[in-house]
Structure 1
Amino acid sequence: MTTANELRSGKTHRDENFPVASWIIHPRHRALILAFYNFVRTADDIADHPTLSATDKLAYLDLLEAELLGKGDSQAEAVRLRHALAERAMPPRHALDVLIAFRMDVSKLRYENWDEVIHYCRYSAMPVGRFMLDVHGESTSTWAASDALCAGLQINNHLQDCGKDYRNLNRVYLPRDALEAAGASVEALGLGKAPSSLLTCLHGLAARTETLLDESRPLSVEVRDFRLGLEISVIQAFADRIVRLLKVRDPLSERVHLGPLELLAFSLGGIVGQTARRAVGRRAVSKPAAGA
C-alpha cells in the first residue's frame, strides 16, 4: 500500500499564507509544531488528491487517525506526531478534530450558508490555533479570539482559491445563499474573470471575514507568551492585508496573495506593533493609581 507520505503535494510549511514554527517561536516548541503541521498537511493533501477515489481518501484518513492513536506504525507523520505529543503529555484532540474537516472535504462539495462554512472552520482551522495555545500553556479563555482569527484565515484562503477549488476539485466553499443573493452562479467560478455579480458576492464575504478578524485582534495581547504574541501579531497583519485585497480585487484574475517583500514588511510591522502594545500594557500595569 502506498504510504500517506507518498501522496503529499509537495507543499510545505514555507508555502502557507502565515508563518509556521517560524524563528519567532521558541525552539523548544518547533519540533512539535512541525510534527503537527506535517500530519495535517499530509491529511489535507490526501483529501485534495486529484486521482484518489473518495473511498481511498477516507481509508487513508482513517489509517492516519488509527496510527495517531497508537494502532500501527506504518505512517511516518502519524507516528511522529504521536511520539511528539506523548513527550509533552498532550492528547491528540486537535489533530483528530482536523481529520473531521478533511473527511468533510471528501464528502461535502457545497455549503448552504455562512453558518455551515463556520462549522467547517471549527474543524479545519480552529483546532490549529487551539493546538498552538495549548503548546504554549495558554488559557482556554484565549480560544474565542483564536477561533475568530483561524476562521478568518481559512475563509481568506477559500476566497483566494475559489476558482482553483472549483476547477480542480468541484468544491465550493462560498455559501449558496450568498451566491444566490448576489445573482451569481457557481459556474462563474470557472471563468478567467469574475462577472460583477460574483464580485459582489466575493467582496461581501470578504467584508464579513474582516469582521471576524476584528474579533481576533485582542488575541496577541491576551496570550502570556511574548514570542507567541509576536507570531500572532504577524499572522494578524498578514490576514488583515489579504482581506483588504479580497475586498477590492478579483481572485479569478488578479493577485490576492502577498509577495516576499510584502511578507517581510508586514512581519516587521506586526512585530513592532506587538512590542509597542506589550510595552504600553506593562506601563499601564506598573503605573500607580491616582492618589495612591
Structure 2
Amino acid sequence: MTLAEERRNETRTDRATTDLDRAARRENFPVASRLLPPHARGKVVAFYRFARAADDIADDPDASPEAKLGRLDALDRALSGQDGKDPAAALRRALDDGRTPSDATALAAAGELLVAFRRDAGGIACADWADLMAYCDVSAAPVGRFLLAVHGEDAVTHGPSDALCAALQVLNHLQDIAEDHRDLGRRYLPGDWMAAEGAADADLVGPALTPALRRVVDRTLEATDALLTEAAPLPTLIASRGLRMQAAATVALARRLHALLRRGDPLARRVALRRADFARAGLSSLWFAP
C-alpha cells in the first residue's frame, strides 16, 4: 500500500469515527473512542457498525422473532465469509478475514455477540444472577475481548475486562428496565431475586420503583459492585496507551453510574451520566497516560 493510499484510508476512518462519535453520544460507554490508535480505529468502527446492525435487528418492533433470527443468520453467514455487503462482511474485511491470531480472536468475539442477539430476539427473562452473567458472557464480554485482541493485549486482561463489560451491561439494563420490558418483552433482573423480594414483572413498568423492586435493584447493584472491584486493575494491565486510558475512563464512568442508580429511581426519571461526568472521567484517565 502506498503512502497516499494509507492517508486516504486514515481519512476515511477519521470520517467514520466522527460519524460514530455523533451516534455514540447516546451510549454510556462508546467503544469507538478517539483515544484509540489509528491502526485499531478502523477495526473498532467496523465492529461498532456490525454490533449496531445486529442490535437493530433484535430490537425491531415490527419483525417477528422468526424474521429477526433469519436476519441474524444472514449476518452470521456474512461474518463467516459467505457473500454479503452488510456490516458483517465489512467487519470481516477490516479484520483481513482473520488471518492473524489477533484478528481471528477479534472475529470470533464478534460472532459470539450474535448468540446474545438471538436470545434477545424472542424476549428474555433471566432466571437468576448466573443466568444474567451467562448472558453477559456473550452480550458484553466479547466487546472487551474484541478491543483487547485488535490491540494485541495479553490474556491477563481478559478476566478484569469481562467483569467490567458485565458490569456495564447490567448498569445499562437497570437504566432501561421499563423500556426493555414494555417495548421488547425483556427482563434482565434475576427472577429468583424478584420472587424472593415479592416483586412482579408488572412492577417494571410502574411510575416508580416499588419497595420490593427497589430491593431487587439494590441487590443487583451490590452484585455489580463486586464486578467493578474485579475490574479495577484493568487499566494497569493494558499495554496500549490509548486503550489503557479508555479503560480507566470507562471504570470511572461505571462507578459514577452505579452511584447514581443507588440514589435514583430509573422508573420515575431517567438516570444518566452528564457531560461533567464524562469530563471528570476523561481527566482521571490522564493518570494512566504515561
TM-score normalised by length of structure 1: 0.87
The answer to whether the 8 A contact 2:92-2:98 is kept is no
Provide the C-alpha distance between the structure 1 equivalents of 2:179 and 2:30, rounded to a whole number of angstroms.
Answer: 23
1:267 & 1:167 partners in 2: Cα distance? 35
Identity %: 39
Structure 1 SS opposite 2:67 = helix
Q: Is the 8 A contact 1:35 1:80 kept in 2?
A: yes
What residue ranges of structure 1 are gaps of 5+ in the alignment?
Answer: 1-10, 279-292
Amino acid paired to 2:91: L
Equivalences, count: 264
**Runs of 4+ with deviation above 4 angstroms:** none
Q: How far apart are 1:226 and its partner, in Å?
A: 1.7
Matched, 1:84 2:84: no
Partner Cα distance (1:95, 1:129) in 2? 10
**In structure 2, C-alpha distance between the alignment counterparts of 1:245 and 1:156, rounded to whole Å:** 10
* Deviation by residue 1:85-124 (Cα, 9 ceiling, x = unmatched): 1177312201110000000112352111000000000000
Q: Tell me if structure 1 keeps the 8 A contact 2:36–2:243.
A: yes
- 1:175-196, Cα deviation, whole Å (9 max, x unpaired): 1111111111110011111111
d(CA) in 2 for partners of 1:236, 1:228? 12
Question: 2: CA distance between counterparts of 1:80 and 1:177?
Answer: 41
C-alpha separation in 2, matches of 1:136 and 1:272: 19
User: Residue 28 of structure 1: CA displacement?
Assistant: 1.6
Q: Distance in 2 between matches of 1:273 and 1:183?
A: 45
Instruction: Between 140-149 and 254-263, report the one with greater CA deviation.
Output: 254-263
Instruction: Report if aligned partners of 2:256, 2:277 keep a CA contact under 8 Å in 1.
Output: no
Query: 1:106 — aligned with what?
Result: 121
Show the counterpart of 2:226: 211
The 1-side partners of 2:186 and 2:125 are apart by 6
Provide structure 2 residue ranges, at least 5 long, that are not aligned to the other structure. Answer: 1-21
Contact 1:207 1:247 in 2 (8 A): no
Task: Indicate the larger mover: 259-268 or 50-59.
Answer: 259-268
The offset of 1:222, in angstroms, is 0.6
Asked which structure has the greater CA Rg, the reply is 1
For the residue of structure 2 that corresponds to 1:15, the secondary structure is: coil
Contact kept? 2:176, 2:266, Cα under 8 Å? yes
- 1:246-285 mapped onto 2 (5 Å cutoff): 246-269=261-284, 271-275=285-289
Q: Distance in 2 between matches of 1:266 and 1:193?
A: 30
Deviations 1:129-188 (A, max 9, x none): 011001110111210000000000000011111111011111100011111111111100
Q: 1:72: which partner in 2?
A: 83
Q: Please say which of residues 11-20 and 133-142 is displaced more in the overlay.
A: 11-20
Alpha-carbon deviation of 1:232?
0.2
Deviations 1:218-245 (A, max 9, x none): 0100111122110100011110100111
CA contact (8 A) 1:43 1:102 kept: yes
3-state SS of 1:210 partner: helix
| Counterpart among 37, 46, 49 of residue 26 in structure 1 | 37
Secondary structure in 1 aligned to 2:148? helix
Does residue 54 of structure 2 align to residue 43 of structure 1? yes
Hey, what's the Cα distance between the residues in 1 that align with 2:30 and 2:187? 26
Q: Name the structure 2 match of 1:61.
A: 72
* One-letter code aligned to 1:14: R
Q: Distance in 1 between matches of 2:124 and 2:217?
A: 18
**Partner of residue 208 from structure 2, selected from 162, 171, 193:** 193
Amino acid across the alignment from 1:170: G
Matches within 5 A, 1:217-236: 217-236=232-251
Structure 1 residues 131, 37: closer, same or farther in 2, change over 3 A?
Answer: same
- What is the rounded CA distance, in whole Å, between the counterparts of 1:105 and 1:88 in structure 2? 27
- 1 CA distance for matches of 2:93 and 2:25? 23
Contact 1:19 1:235 (C-alpha < 8 Å) held by counterparts: no
Q: The residue matched to 2:82 in structure 1 has which SS?
A: coil
The Cα shift of 1:68 comes to 1.3
**SS at structure 1 position matched to 2:93:** helix
Tell whether the 8 Å contact from 1:13 to 1:37 is kept in structure 2 after alignment: no
The whole-number CA distance in structure 1 between the counterparts of 2:269 and 2:221 is 15
